[in-house]
């Protein structure tokens, strides 16, 4: 029984020390900032995705597919999102451009909070200037977006190659008869 008491006292002391350290390093402020700017960027990002899908993939008629994928991410608010997104099916170019600026600015703040938290965790004292930090975070966003785009293109290419290979192997097993 004494060992359990000592164990729980050590665990409680460790949790209390971790809580004090979190408060000293302002972790709740960083988490709140990341959450706040993520929520601000959510709806404009959806509008930008819908507009991009309609603009670049309009010939494939993917509008409904994009809306379905967005709605499936938020199962609790299916009806609300569907009605809201149906009302804003064709945003004007001005709205899309302003949404792009909101998304970029919000994500740059998110990267700034992450950079600040990592710098504080590693004990780096000197912080970058406001504009230097913004430019660096926008560059990181561009690199991450480019990496995701390259990944998507490679995935489509590999999927098409597999489908073509599967169709070719299926034909080789058929000997002129309907398979």
* Local mean pLDDT, 10-residue blocks, the chain (179 residues): 80 81 73 88 84 74 74 79 73 86 89 82 78 84 87 86 78 55
37: Cβ–Cβ under 8 A, 6 or more apart, which residues? 106, 107, 109, 110, 113
The half-sphere exposure of 20 on its side-chain side, counting CA atoms within 13 A, is 6
What is the per-residue pLDDT across 98-148, written as a single tens digit (0 to 9) for each? 999 999 889 888 888 888 878 877 877 777 788 888 888 888 888 888 898
Q: What share of the chain in percent tops pLDDT 70?
A: 85
The predicted structure's pLDDT at residue 172: 54
Displacement of CA 159 from its chain's centroid (Å): 23
Give the contacts of 106 (CB within 8 A, at least 6 positions apart). 37, 38, 40, 41, 44
Q: How far apart are CA 179 and CA 166, in angstroms?
A: 14
Which pTM was predicted?
0.59
Cβ burial of 103 (10 Å; 0-12, 13-18, 19+) is buried
Question: What pLDDT is stored for residue 102 in this prediction?
Answer: 92
Contact between residue 34 and residue 114 where contact means Cβ atoms under 8 Å apart = yes
| Distance separating alpha carbons of residues 88 and 7, to the nearest angstrom | 58
N- to C-terminal Cα distance for the chain?
Answer: 73
Other Cβ atoms within 10 Å of 170 Cβ, number? 10
Cα atoms found within 13 Å of the Cα of residue 53, Cβ hemisphere only: 19
């Amino acid at each position: 029984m004494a060992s359990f008491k000592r164990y729980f006292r050590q665990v409680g002391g460790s949790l209390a020390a971790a809580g004090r350290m979190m408060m000293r390093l302002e972790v709740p402020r960083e988490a709140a900032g990341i959450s706040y700017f993520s929520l601000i960027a959510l709806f404009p990002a959806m509008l930008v995705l819908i507009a991009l899908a309609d603009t670049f993939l309009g010939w494939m008629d993917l509008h409904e597919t994009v809306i379905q994928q967005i709605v499936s991410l938020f199962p609790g608010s299916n009806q609300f999102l569907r009605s809201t997104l149906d009302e804003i099916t064709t945003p004007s170019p001005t709205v899309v451009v302003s949404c792009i600026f909101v998304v970029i600015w919000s994500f740059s703040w998110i990267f700034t909070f992450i950079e600040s938290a990592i710098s504080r965790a590693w004990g780096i004292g000197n912080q970058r200037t406001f504009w230097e930090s913004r430019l660096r975070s926008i560059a990181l966003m561009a690199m991450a977006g480019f990496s995701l785009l390259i990944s998507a293109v490679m995935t489509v290419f590999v999927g098409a190659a597999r489908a073509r290979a599967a169709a070719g192997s299926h034909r080789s097993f058929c000997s002129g008869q309907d398979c």
